[in-house]
Structure 1
């Protein structure tokens, strides 16, 4: 009986680890598209009803919540000048999965032309759509460095 329980736990752990890797891969593909200014690559891992929000904290305005329509966000990324180097460095991943829902907490640093612009945390919510993880919301915090 102990052997059976051991193998059940091992199978569950390997399955969970594999799903976490696929969620991470989905987020990495999103950022590959982001860095390449390829909105089609980014859209491929997002649900059409994607929700984009930011929580920004500044000395003058305090804390504000903003929401960006996905079409405007994708257009803004695709239209960035080629001379402008942008890079969002994900520092770590903390992924939780429950059935067809996953949440990823990803601290980051954002660089413009090699200079640290701001930092914070992204929270991605994904769901399993016909066997494929799709991003349904992204909310991030933004703090000036």
Structure 2
């Protein structure tokens, strides 16, 4: 029986590989729902509405930023609670993060989204980079579980 196992595996392995490569793209409605959650996040930020931003986040959401120089690149955790306080604290300039949707990948209740961005305080450019969002689909809909971004002042996407 043991000599048959490698033979059976060699016969069925190509079928499994072919199935994995032909996965259908997500329905457009799911892609739109994921994008709507991210748009709501930034609309809340623009409006200074921390409750609106909080509504887009999954419980236990995590924020990170990657920094470049001086020194070696580093990953820095950021507190979602501190971010929400900052959004809700009155400030003179509108915080305007202008994004474009790059790739949106969805598998079941997990989505990964890549968005190049430019950030403005009022009409003044501050920085740019890329956001990577990980979203999960919960009973209430798509929620942001993790955001990690890059930040720089030049060579914008």
With normalisation by structure 2, the TM-score equals 0.77
Runs ≥4 residues deviating over 2 A: 12-15
Structure-1 separation of matches of 2:103 and 2:125: 23
SS of equivalent to 1:34: helix
Q: For structure 2, list consecutive stretches of 5 or more residues without a partner in the other structure.
A: 1-22
1:1-145 equivalences in 2 (<5 Å)? 16-58=27-69, 60-81=70-91, 83-130=92-139, 132-145=141-154
- Shift of the alpha carbon at 1:64? 2.1
Contact 2:63 2:80 in 1 (8 A): yes
Length, aligned pairs only: 132
| Greater fraction of residues in strand | 1
Q: Is the CA contact 2:26–2:106 (under 8 Å) kept in the aligned structure 1?
A: no
1:134, 1:118 → 2: CA distance?
Answer: 25
Deviation at 1:45, TM superposition (A): 1.3
Provide, for residues 58-92 of structure 1, a one-character-per-residue CA deviation record: whole Å limited to 9, x for no partner. Answer: 3x2342211112111100111141x2232100023
